[in-house]
Amino acid sequence: MKKIYLASPHMSDEKYEENFVKEAFETNWLSTVGENINKFEENVKEYLNINSAVALSSGTAAIHLGLKALGVKKDDIVFVSDLTFSASVNPIIYENAIPVFIDSEYETWNMSPKALEKAFEKYPKPKVVIIAHLYGRASKMDEIINICNKHNVPILEDAAEGLGSKYKDKYLGTFGKCAALSFNGNKIITTTGGGMLVSDDEKLIEKVRFWSTQSKDKARHYQHSEIGYNYRMSNVLAGIGRGQMKVLNQRVSKKREIFDTYKKAFKDIEEIEMTDEKTYEKSNRWLSTLLIKENSKIKPIDIIESLEKENIESRPVWKPMHMQPIFEKYDFIKIKKDEKSVGEHLFNRGVCLPSDTKMTQEDIKRVIKIVMSNWGR
Ligand SMILES: Cc1ncc(COP(=O)(O)O)c(C=O)c1O
């Protein structure tokens, strides 16, 4: 039985990636400098319409150096989305700062502006607010920016899952003081592993570029006045990224088509909810997700196991950060103290469906049939 993946690497039919990688080999630019890196950064800047970008070894590295560039130090408070992947949070701990998790809202699954306001009542002076755009859905940026501006706190966007998504005609990744992108193997485009920090602030990006290549002072000998990191992307992998940028819009269209096909197929199953986009957003639909209503006897695990039996990969919604054993000791802010968290509810009721852009119509039909069979359809 053909395996269907949740989201796996998808190179262009035209072999753009191979050709750029080949160029790197043929010219012996097999290090962390070269044409592919420069051009990949240019391509992303142009696509997002942003001033500057630095290609790094991972999205996690981008968040780490982004936090440092925003001045995060030991014992600083950093607000961060609760419903996200752990890589949004780990870099806060690398800097010995303190995460405070902010609950989600049902409408977007992302950080609730109301919970964010509550968090400011308790902690008036966080150093940074990290906003993750989960599964490529846009967070409510107007509200969030208003709140953060009022308190004079910069936003770091975690747009790892959101490349190609728009909020009010602007791409995600262009709203914060800086933003992290990921090119991990499961992302909408990949370099096998990699990331980028983007910003309109060229100085900020130059500083990050300096740190990412071991903080070498201008001198003939190796001299260091600051701690350095080996976080730069290789010119070989940047070649893959350059090629993938040529098909990014195609990937977004395919992901959106996958979501629409699922949504249409499940419209008569009253117990399944698939949230529509808001009028102001255009999601890349990196992962298609569904929510099973609370009163249903079907649980996410039933769907996941039924798909697994047929060699199809799916996954529960990300487990919120405040529920993670490693992060349990940190504070978590909800709108109402005594109500169950929204993130926890989404985790308990949600499923990430196969969203691989290599799926054929037949593959999508196979998935739909198995999901429906849980409801005896
Ligand atoms: C929301 C989120 N943030 C950060 C990351 C980290 O990116 P990377 O794997 O490139 O380090 C990922 C994905 O892996 C992610 O999904």
Tell me the per-residue pLDDT of 245-277, one tens digit each, with 9 for 90 and over: 999 999 999 999 999 999 999 999 999 999 889
Q: Calculate how far, in angstroms, residue 321's C-alpha sits from the geometric centre of ligand 1.
A: 14
Does ligand 1 have an atom closer than 6 angstroms to the CB of 160?
yes
What is the predicted pLDDT for the residue at 241?
Answer: 98
The residue ranges of DSSP E strands in 49-110, in sequence order, are 52-56, 77-81, 98-102
Q: Calculate how far, in angstroms, residue 83's C-alpha sits from the geometric centre of ligand 1.
A: 13
Average pLDDT, the chain: 97
Residue 367 predicted with pLDDT over 90: yes
Percent over 90 (pLDDT), the chain: 98
Burial class from Cβ neighbours inside 10 Å (0-12, 13-18, 19+) for residue 338 reads exposed
| Cβ neighbours for 375, distance < 8 A, ≥ 6 positions apart | 269, 271, 298
Q: Which amino acid is residue 347, in one-letter code?
A: F
Q: Give per-residue pLDDT as tens, 123-140.
A: 999 999 999 999 999 999
Q: Which residues of 115-138 are buried (b: 16+ CB within 10 A; e: fewer)?
A: bbbbbbeebeebbbbbbbbbbbbb
Does ligand 1 have an atom closer than 6 angstroms to the CB of 272?
no
pLDDT band at residue 336 using 50, 70 and 90 as cut-offs: confident
Output the CA–CA distances (angstroms, integers) from residue 280 to 141, 181, 215, 260, 349, in the order listed: 11, 22, 41, 18, 26
Does ligand 1 have an atom closer than 6 angstroms to the CB of 59?
yes
Task: Match domain 16-245 to its CATH number in 3.30.1300.10, 3.40.50.970, 3.90.1150.10, 3.40.640.10.
Answer: 3.40.640.10
Task: Match domain 248-373 to its CATH number in 2.60.120.10, 3.90.1150.10, 3.40.50.410, 3.40.640.10.
Answer: 3.90.1150.10
| Portions of the chain given CATH number 3.90.1150.10 | 248-373
Hey, how many other C-beta atoms are within 10 angstroms of the C-beta on 106?
Answer: 12
What is the predicted pLDDT for the residue at 338?
Answer: 85
What is the predicted pLDDT for the residue at 125?
Answer: 97
Least confident of 16-30, 70-84, 334-348: 334-348
| Portions of the chain given CATH number 3.40.640.10 | 16-245
Phi, psi at 16, each rounded to 5°: -55, -45
Cβ–Cβ < 8 Å for 128, 153: yes
What is the predicted pLDDT for the residue at 339?
Answer: 86
Does ligand 1 have an atom closer than 6 angstroms to the CB of 236?
no
Q: Give per-residue pLDDT as tens, 170-208.
A: 999 999 999 999 999 999 999 999 999 999 999 999 999
- The 8-class DSSP code of residue 109 comes to S
Q: Give per-residue pLDDT as tens, 216-234.
A: 999 999 999 999 999 999 9
What is the predicted pLDDT for the residue at 169?
Answer: 95
Hey, how many other C-beta atoms are within 10 angstroms of the C-beta on 315?
Answer: 17
Alpha-carbon span 143 to 149, nearest angstrom = 10
pTM of the model: 0.98
What is the predicted pLDDT for the residue at 268?
Answer: 94
At residue 325's C-alpha, the angle toward residues 322 and 328, to 5°, is 40
Residue 298 predicted with pLDDT over 90: yes
In terms of DSSP bridges, do strands 166-167 and 281-282 run parallel, antiparallel, or are they unpaired?
A: antiparallel
Q: Calculate how far, in angstroms, residue 242's C-alpha sits from the geometric centre of ligand 1.
A: 20
What is the predicted pLDDT for the residue at 337?
Answer: 83
Alpha-carbon span 59 to 44, nearest angstrom = 14
Cβ–Cβ < 8 Å for 255, 188: yes
Helix extents (H) in 10-58 = 16-26, 35-48
- Cα dihedral sign for 185, 186, 189, 194? negative
Query: Ligand 1: which of 93, 104, 181, 184 to mutate, most ligand atoms within 8 Å of CB?
Result: 184
Does ligand 1 have an atom closer than 6 angstroms to the CB of 195?
yes
| Cβ neighbours for 257, distance < 8 A, ≥ 6 positions apart | none
Q: Calculate how far, in angstroms, residue 218's C-alpha sits from the geometric centre of ligand 1.
A: 33
Q: Calculate how far, in angstroms, residue 82's C-alpha sits from the geometric centre of ligand 1.
A: 14
